[in-house]
Amino acid sequence: MKNELVIIIFIAILGAVVAVNLMSGTIYRLSAFEIRLSAQISGNNFTEINFPPVGKLIADTHTFPLNLELTVLNINPDRLRRVVNNIEDKEEFISSIRLRGRDILQFFILRVVFLAFTGGAFGVFILGNRHWKELFIGGLVGILLLVILFAGTYYTYDFDRFDDPNYKGMLAAAPWMIGLIEEGLNNIDQIGKEMEKIATNVSNLFAEVEALRPLGEISGQIKVLHVSDIHNNPVALDFIEKAVKSFNVDLIIDSGDISDYGTPIEAKLVERIDNLSIPYIFVPGNHDSPTIIQKMKNFDNVILLNANTINVKGVIITGIADPASTTKNIKPPQTEMIKEYQAGLKKLIGQLVNPPQIVVTHNFLIASNIVGKVPVILHGHDHDFKIRQEKGTTIIDAGTSGAAGIRGLQSEKGIPYTVNLLHFSDKGKVKLKAVDIIKIYSRESSFILERRGIDNQQQKIISN
């Protein structure tokens, strides 16, 4: 009897698995979209979102062996147009989509559980047990199996896994596009107005860049252009090109976040850097990725700084990439990782015979424990230009040379395009003598050009 019960349970589980895997796929309509939901009981525990024939994204979202799939089968353009044209309240629209999605998911779960019951009972039926009691036990086993799988999936489900999914097919560009869509949907009205302003002022912006001229020469100087946080903004590259020509720059230091999501399509946007005829030192930020880093490595004029030291035109520069740049995860590093990188940077500098004149990180926290040990620290990340001296170290935050990308459009006050030009004297020991701050406000079509002198003996900054 006991062996017979074990056999019934085994066959019921097998029947439930077969029924769910073969017949769980169900088509639903969600607004203008026709979608298909399915579940597979297998060793895979991810969620797949398919956009045939474009590709798919896969996220390792839970721990129980249930593979969930959502496939976008069709988009009705006429219905989509009517939906978009009739949106009066964005919050109400999003809320209605969520409610409809919840209803669809509930119907789908009930259907799959019923399939499991039917599959379990049918498996026992095929085994030759035709008594209603054995059939009912088989069905209950199927239901219990799916209840356990769905409950386990629900309690272990981690939506944050979608922050760093795997992309297949042409959807390699998905993070960039999805990010723009999410941020754009939340601020669609404001972005439209800001784009009008920038379109009106862009010709004036370029004219002003052409008009920029140095505030005066420094004897025997080396000019270093510090840029950061371009965030896919092509205007920033125009800005940089014009600044290089106007000031006869010797080299460029980029303290990271040249992209937003580090995808291959974003890597195409930075190809213009290869046209610059001067060295371009690049320290990756948290929004960059191995894809972006490899693309930058392919450019003849780009020098990647990641836990190493170089000498360019007599200036010794040490840099370390942001920990997040080793993955597709754009989140800034946690405290423990920052401490690890701080220790690594300090050790790296301590091993040098000739200490660097410049240390470059994306996030200042990584370099915070070497303040007072090096002359200059360059960083970005905060999107707000700052210059200060602490313990004899000049600390410069480049702000954002790309006006924070799409985030700049969403800002009420507007974010300026910012670069700074560092003047080093090469007479004797290389020393920072002055910093020219260049800010361009695209909305007002105005710019600011300011020089800060550096008094190395008195360890202070002098405003001109």
pLDDT at position 140 over 50: yes
Answer yes or no: do 326 and 228 share one domain: yes
Give the Cα separation of 360 and 231 in Å (integer): 18
Considering the domain boundaries, does residue 195 fall inside one? no
Angle at 294 between CA 288 and CA 296, to 5 degrees: 75
Indicate the SS3 state at residue 193.
Answer: helix
Considering the domain boundaries, does residue 37 fall inside one? yes
> Cβ distance 51 to 29 under 8 Å?
no
Answer yes or no: do 136 and 238 share one domain: no
Answer yes or no: do 108 and 39 share one domain: yes
pLDDT at position 446 over 90: no
Considering the domain boundaries, does residue 396 fall inside one? yes
Indicate the SS3 state at residue 94.
Answer: helix
Q: What is the pLDDT of residues 401-423, one digit of tens each?
A: 888 776 655 555 678 889 999 99
pLDDT average, residue stretch 428-449: 78
Q: Residue 325 is part of a domain; what is its CATH number?
A: 3.60.21.10
Q: What is the pLDDT of residues 149-169, one digit of tens each?
A: 999 999 998 887 776 667 665
Amino acid 5: pLDDT? 78
Answer yes or no: do 130 and 234 share one domain: no
Parent domain of 348 = 218-463
Q: How confident is the model at residue 181 (pLDDT cuts 50, 70, 90)?
A: very low
Question: What does pLDDT average to over the chain?
Answer: 81
Last residue of a domain, one of 141, 163, 185: 163
pLDDT average, residue stretch 385-393: 93
Answer yes or no: do 147 and 232 share one domain: no
> Cβ distance 229 to 398 under 8 Å?
yes
Report residue 79 as tokens.
Answer: 């219905």
Residue whose structure tokens are 């006869």: 248
Give the Cα separation of 150 and 355 in Å (integer): 59
Angle, helices 132-156/90-127, rounded to nearest 10 degrees: 150
Answer yes or no: do 147 and 278 share one domain: no
Amino acid 218: pLDDT? 63
Answer yes or no: do 313 and 446 share one domain: yes
Q: What is the pLDDT of residues 184-218, one digit of tens each?
A: 444 444 544 554 555 445 445 545 555 555 455 66
Answer yes or no: do 118 and 237 share one domain: no
> Which of 39-53, 117-131, 154-168, 270-284 has the least mean pLDDT?
154-168
Amino acid 202: pLDDT? 46
What one-character DSSP code corresponds to residue 46? -
pLDDT average, residue stretch 233-262: 87
pLDDT at position 387 over 90: yes
Amino acid 283: pLDDT? 97
Q: What is the pLDDT of residues 298-318, one digit of tens each?
A: 999 999 999 999 999 989 999
Answer yes or no: do 373 and 251 share one domain: yes
> Cβ distance 77 to 190 under 8 Å?
no
* DSSP code string of 106-147: HHHHHHHHHHHHHHHHHHHHHHT--SHHHHHHHHHHHHHHHH
Indicate the SS3 state at residue 380.
Answer: coil
Answer yes or no: do 153 and 260 share one domain: no
Considering the domain boundaries, does residue 108 fall inside one? yes
For residue 252, report the phi and psi dihedrals to the nearest 5 degrees: -115, 135
Considering the domain boundaries, does residue 13 fall inside one? yes
Answer yes or no: do 244 and 360 share one domain: yes
Q: How confident is the model at residue 332 (pLDDT cuts 50, 70, 90)?
A: confident
Considering the domain boundaries, does residue 174 fall inside one? no
Last residue of a domain, one of 143, 163, 183: 163
* DSSP code string of 408-445: HHH-SS---EEEEEEEEE-SSS-EEEEEEEEEEETTTT
How many structural domains compose the chain?
A: 2
Q: How many CB atoms lie within 10 A of CB 189?
A: 8
pLDDT at position 266 over 50: yes
For residue 342, report the phi and psi dihedrals to the nearest 5 degrees: -60, -45
Residues contacting residue 349 through CB under 8 Å, at least 6 positions apart: 318, 355, 356, 359, 370, 373, 374
Last residue of a domain, one of 163, 189, 208: 163
Helices H / strands E in the chain, number of each: 12, 20
Looking at the DSSP bridge assignments, the partners of residue 251 are 224
Report residue 54 as tokens.
Answer: 């474009």
Omega before 53 within 30 of 0, i.e. cis? yes
- Highest mean pLDDT of the ranges 147-156, 435-444, 448-457: 147-156
Answer yes or no: do 262 and 127 share one domain: no
What is the reported pTM? Answer: 0.62
Q: What is the pLDDT of residues 59-110, one digit of tens each?
A: 888 899 999 999 888 877 777 777 766 666 656 767 777 888 888 999 999 9
- Highest mean pLDDT of the ranges 210-224, 230-244, 345-359: 345-359
Amino acid 330: pLDDT? 75
Which of 19, 5, 7 is CA-nearest to residue 119?
19
Considering the domain boundaries, does residue 179 fall inside one? no
pLDDT greater at residue 11 or residue 181: 11
> Which of 8-12, 47-51, 171-175, 408-412 has the least mean pLDDT?
171-175
Residues contacting residue 23 through CB under 8 Å, at least 6 positions apart: 115
Q: What is the pLDDT of residues 124-136, one digit of tens each?
A: 888 776 678 888 8
Which of 251, 272, 271 is CA-nearest to residue 315?
251
Amino acid 66: pLDDT? 92
Q: How confident is the model at residue 237 (pLDDT cuts 50, 70, 90)?
A: confident
Amino acid 50: pLDDT? 83
